[in-house]
Amino acid sequence: MFDILKNLCNLDAASGDETAVREFIINEIKDFCEFKVDNLGNIIAFKKGKSRSSKKLMLDAHMDEVGLIITSITSDGFLKFKTVGGIDVSALMFRSVKINGTINGVICGKPIHLTEGEERKKLPKSDSLYIDIGATSKEDALKHISLGDRAVLCGDFEENDNNVISKALDDRVGCAVLIKLIKEFDEYDFYASFSVQEEVGLRGAKVSAYAINPDSAIVLESTTASDIAGVADADKVCKLGEGVAVSFMDGATVYDRDYYNFALNSGLTCQPKTAVAGGNNSGAIHLSREGVRTIALSLPCRYIHSSSSVANKEDIESMYNLAEYMILSICGGEV
Amino acid sequence: MIDLKNKLFALSTADGIGNIADASNLAFDMLSKYCPCEKADSLTVMGFLKGESDYTLMLDAHIDQIGMVVTDVDDNGFLTVKNAGGIDIRSLPSRRVTVHGKEKITAVFCSTPPHLASGEKTYDNITDIKLDTALGKKAKDIVSVGDYVTFANTPRELINYRVCGRSFDDRAAVACLITVAEQLSSKTLPINVAFVLSDGEELGLRGIRTASFKVNPDEAVAVDVSFGDGIGISSEECSPLGSGAMIGFAPTLDSKISKKLVSLCEKKNIPYTSEIMGSKTGTNADMISVNREGVKTGLVSIPLRNMHTDVEIADLKDLQSVCDLICEYVLSGGVKDV
Closest residue to B96, CB basis, from A88, A114, A307: A307
Interface probe for A, chosen from B159, B235, B304 (most Cβ of A below 10 Å), is B159
CB atoms under 10 Å from CB of B1, counted, come to 13
B151, B184, B217 — which closes off a domain?
Answer: B151
Region A68-153: CATH code: 2.40.30.40
A310: chain B residues, CB-CB within 8 Å = 108, 132, 134
In a domain, B161, yes or no: no
In a domain, B112, yes or no: yes
In a domain, B337, yes or no: no
The amino acid at B185: S
- We report the CATH number of the domain holding residue B122 as 2.40.30.40
Looking at the fold, whether B171 and B140 belong to one and the same domain comes out as no
d(CA A42, nearest CA chain B) in Å = 28
Looking at the fold, whether B187 and B325 belong to one and the same domain comes out as yes
Question: For residue B116, is pLDDT > 90?
Answer: no
pLDDT number for residue B53 = 96
Query: Given an 8 Å threshold on Cβ–Cβ distance, is B121 in contact with A278?
Result: no
Interface probe for B, chosen from A106, A131, A137 (most Cβ of B below 10 Å), is A106
A331 Rama sector, left if φ>0, alpha if ψ -120 to 50, beta otherwise: alpha
Query: Given an 8 Å threshold on Cβ–Cβ distance, is A122 in contact with B233?
Result: no
Give the global pTM.
Answer: 0.95
A86: chain B residues, CB-CB within 8 Å = 114
Domain membership of residue B175 as a residue range: 2-65+166-331
Rounded CA separation A28/B126 (Å): 44
Render pLDDT for B5-53 as a digit per residue (tens, 0 to 9).
999 999 999 999 999 999 999 999 999 999 999 998 789 999 999 999 9
pLDDT number for residue A244 = 98
Looking at the fold, whether B246 and B303 belong to one and the same domain comes out as yes
Interface probe for A, chosen from B76, B108, B129 (most Cβ of A below 10 Å), is B108
Per the structure, the count of domains in chain B is 2
Looking at the fold, whether B54 and B135 belong to one and the same domain comes out as no
Which carries the bigger pLDDT value, residue B233 or residue B323? B323
Share of chain B above pLDDT 70, in %: 100
Query: Given an 8 Å threshold on Cβ–Cβ distance, is B90 in contact with A163?
Result: no
Closest residue to B122, CB basis, from A121, A130, A158: A121
A133: chain B residues, CB-CB within 8 Å = 158-159
Looking at the fold, whether B77 and B43 belong to one and the same domain comes out as no
Min mean pLDDT across A140-149, A307-316, B196-205, B266-275 is at B196-205
Instruction: Return the CATH fold of A2-65+167-331.
Output: Aminopeptidase (3.40.630)
From residue A274, alpha-carbon distances to A61, A226, A248, A267 in Å are 21, 11, 8, 19
Beta-ladder partners of A270: A244
Query: Given an 8 Å threshold on Cβ–Cβ distance, is A111 in contact with B233?
Result: yes
User: B226 by DSSP, 3-state: which?
Assistant: strand
- We report the CATH number of the domain holding residue B224 as 3.40.630.10
pLDDT number for residue A161 = 93
Kindly give the confidence (pLDDT) of every residue in chain A, 335 residues in length, as a single tens digit, with 9 standing for 90 and above: 999 999 999 999 999 999 999 999 999 999 999 999 999 999 999 999 999 999 999 999 999 999 999 999 999 999 999 999 999 999 999 999 999 999 999 999 988 888 888 888 988 898 999 999 999 999 999 999 999 999 999 999 999 999 999 999 999 999 999 999 999 999 999 999 999 999 999 999 999 999 999 999 999 999 999 999 999 999 999 999 999 999 999 999 999 999 999 999 999 999 999 989 999 999 999 999 999 999 999 999 999 999 999 999 999 999 999 999 999 999 999 99
B243: chain A residues, CB-CB within 8 Å = none
This model of the complex carries an ipTM of 0.95
Render pLDDT for B138-194 as a digit per residue (tens, 0 to 9).
999 999 999 999 999 999 999 999 999 999 999 999 999 999 999 999 999 999 999
- Three-state secondary structure string covering A161-230: CCEEEECCHHHHHHHHHHHHHHHHCCCECEEEEEECCCCCCCHHHHHHHHHHCCCEEEEEEEEECCCCCC
Looking at the fold, whether B56 and B80 belong to one and the same domain comes out as no
Extended strands (E) in A109-182? 130-132, 150-153, 158-159, 163-166
The amino acid at A274: T
